[in-house]
Structure 1
Amino acid sequence: MDFNGMTVAITGAASGIGHATALTAARRGARIVALDRDGQALEDRRAQFEADGLALFPFALDIGDEASVRCSVDAISQVTPSVDLLVNSAGIVSRGLLENTTADEWERVLSVNLSGSFYCIQQMVPLLKAGTGRAVVNVASLASKRVSYTGGVAYTAAKAGILGLTRHAAFELAGDGIRVNAVCPGPVLTAMTKNATSEEDRQKVAAMVPLGAWLEPEDIAESILFLGSPAARMITGTSLDIDGGLSLVTGSSYEAYRRARQ
C-alpha cells in the first residue's frame, strides 16, 4: 500500500495503535498529522520521525472536548489543505464494575472514546472532501460486540457506539465519496493494556487466542491502512475483527473479569 503524497491524520498518535499506524503510514510515504493530549510525547515522536526522514506535524488537544477539536482542526487547515485519511485511535479505559462506576468516569470515557471520534469526523469533513483518499477508519474493539475484560462498562458502551457512528457516518458521507469503516482489535499489547493486566492474566489470554499470541499494534496498523487505501475503495460502513481468532472462543472465566477490578 503506497501512501506517497497523502496526508494521514491520526488521533492518539503518540502511543499504541495510533503511533504504530503513524509510523507505518509515514514509512509508506504519508505525512502525518498527529493528534494527542500528551504534547511532550508528540514532540518526542516528531524528533524521532525527523531523524528517520519522516514528516510528522503534532497537535496537542483534548479529544473529548469539542472546542479543543475545532481549534486543532483550524490549526491543521493552516498546515495542509486536505486530509486523505482520518484514523480515530485515541482512547482510554475504565476499570470499575458497573455498580461502582462514577458519573465522571462514565462521561469521560464516552467523551474520549466515542464523542471524540464524532467531533473529529464532523470537523474534518471539509478537509476530507478536499483530499483524494477520502477515508475514515475508527478504532473500535472486540468489546464492541462482546464485553471488555480490561476495560469496564463505559469502555464497552463507547466502543459499541463507535460501530453505530461508523455505520451512520458511512451512509451520510457516501454522497461526498468519503468512506467510513472500523477495526475491532482483540487483545493488543499496548502500554495501556500492560498497565491494566498482570503477566499471569496476559499469559492466560494468549493461551485462549486460537493463533496463540497477543496482537501487536503493528498488526492493527496494517488493517487500518488497508481500509484507508484505494484497495478498499468500495468498502464502507463495515467493521473488521482483528483478534487472532479470539471471537471464535465462547468460554471464559467470569472470575478473571472480577479479579481485574479488585
Structure 2
Amino acid sequence: MTQGTSLAAKVAWITGGGSGIGLAGAIELARAGCRVVISGRDEAKLQAAIESAVAQGAPRGAIRPAVLDVADKDAVAATAQAITREFGGVDILVNSAGVNYPKRYWKETDAATFERVVAINLNGAAYCTLAVVAGMRARGQGTVINVASFAGWHLSFLTGPAYTASKAGMIALTHSFNIEEGVNGLRATALCPGEAATPILKLRPVEPSDADKARMLQEPDLGRTIRFIAEMPPHVCINELVIAPVFNRIYAGGAEFVRR
C-alpha cells in the first residue's frame, strides 16, 4: 500500500489564516508536524488565532504570524522572501484569504467593491503562488491548495458576480498550474467548499440562522480536508475537491438564493 506524505518539518504558508478555513487548516497542519506561517491584515487577530490554535491542540510555537495584505504584490513577495530566509522555503501554500461584501449584486455593487474582491480572492492567490513557485520548482516538489468555493464550481445567485468570478478564476488558476507545473513535480488543488459556518457569513446580506449554520460544513471539517490533500503521496494530484453539507441549501433553495 502506498504511504501518505509525512508533513513533519514541512513549511506551510496559509493566507487568511487568522480565522475560518485558513485557521482550521493551520491547526491541522501544525498537528501533523508542519511549521506554519499564517498571514492576515490584523496582527492582534493573528496572535489571538495562534492562542486559539494552541487551545485546539496545535503545538505551541508551531504557528507563526506574518501580517500581510495579499492584494499588495510587493508585500507578498517580501513575506515569501522572509519565510524562505527563516525556513528555507515553502512546501505547502494554502491560499485561503477571501472576502465578500453585503452589497454584492449588479443592482447595488460598484467598481471599487468588485476590484477589492478580485484583488484579494484571485490576484492575492496568484501573487502568493508566484512568490513560491520558483522555490518549489527548484526542490522538485510543492503543494498549492487554493480555497475556491462551491460558488465557483456551481454558479448560483447567492454570492454575487465579483465573488463568483473570483472563485471560478481560482479554479482556472489551479488547473493552469497543474498543466504547466505537474511535469516539475508540483501540484495544486482547487478546494471548493459549499456553505461553511465561518466568520464570512456575517458579511452576507442576510446572515444565516444558527440552525442553518449548524447544518453547514464546520471549520474542523475543512481543516481535516486541507490536511488530507497535503498528506497525499507526492505522485498524487487532487485537481478539484468539491465538498458540501448534506443539507445543501444551494440545491434546496430558500429566500437567500433567489433574485430579489
TM-score grouping bracket, smaller chain normalisation: 0.7 to 0.9
Q: CA deviation at 1:29?
A: 1.0
Residue 63 of structure 1 corresponds to 70
What is the rounded CA distance, in whole Å, between the counterparts of 2:194 and 2:251 in structure 1?
Answer: 14
**What amino acid does structure 2 have at the position aligned with 1:152?**
G
Residue 116 of structure 2 corresponds to 108
CA RMSD after TM alignment: 2.6
Q: 2:144 aligns with which of 133, 136, 159?
A: 136
Query: Helix, strand or coil: the match of 1:98?
Result: coil
Larger CA deviation: 169-178 vs 12-21: 169-178
What is the rounded CA distance, in whole Å, between the counterparts of 1:205 and 1:190 in structure 2?
Answer: 9
1:29 and 2:42 equivalent? Answer: no
Q: 2:79 aligns with which of 66, 72, 78?
A: 72
Asked if the contact 2:23/2:53 (under 8 Å) is kept, the reply is no
Asked if the contact 1:148/1:155 (under 8 Å) is kept, the reply is no
Asked if the contact 1:63/1:116 (under 8 Å) is kept, the reply is yes
What is the rounded CA distance, in whole Å, between the counterparts of 1:99 and 1:90 in structure 2?
Answer: 26
- Per-residue displacement from partner, 1:147-200 (whole Å, max 9, x unpaired)? 356532111110010110000011111122110111110110011214534344
Identity %: 32
Unpaired segments ≥5 residues, structure 2 = none
Residue 53 of structure 1 corresponds to 60
**What amino acid does structure 2 have at the position aligned with 1:141?**
S
Q: 1:222 aligns with which of 208, 221, 224?
A: 224
Asked if the contact 2:47/2:65 (under 8 Å) is kept, the reply is yes
Asked if the contact 1:82/1:129 (under 8 Å) is kept, the reply is no
- Pair 1:147–1:95, CA change in 2 (3 A): farther
What is the rounded CA distance, in whole Å, between the counterparts of 1:123 and 1:249 in structure 2?
Answer: 35
Q: How many residues align?
A: 251
Q: CA deviation at 1:257?
A: 3.5
What is the rounded CA distance, in whole Å, between the counterparts of 1:132 and 1:247 in structure 2?
Answer: 39
- Per-residue displacement from partner, 1:36-74 (whole Å, max 9, x unpaired)? 111221223345557843412211111112111112112
Query: Helix, strand or coil: the match of 2:33?
Result: coil
What is the rounded CA distance, in whole Å, between the counterparts of 1:129 and 1:74 in structure 2?
Answer: 15
User: Equivalences for 1:174-213 in 2 at 5 Å?
Assistant: 174-196=182-204, 197-200=206-209, 203=211, 213=215
1:239 and 2:248 equivalent? Answer: no
What is the rounded CA distance, in whole Å, between the counterparts of 1:44 and 1:131 in structure 2?
Answer: 33
- Pair 1:199–1:227, CA change in 2 (3 A): closer
Unpaired segments ≥5 residues, structure 1 = 207-212
Residue 156 of structure 1 corresponds to 164
1:39 and 2:43 equivalent? Answer: yes
Normalising by the residue count of structure 2, what TM-score does the alignment of the two structures yield?
0.86
What is the rounded CA distance, in whole Å, between the counterparts of 2:217 and 2:234 in structure 1?
Answer: 23
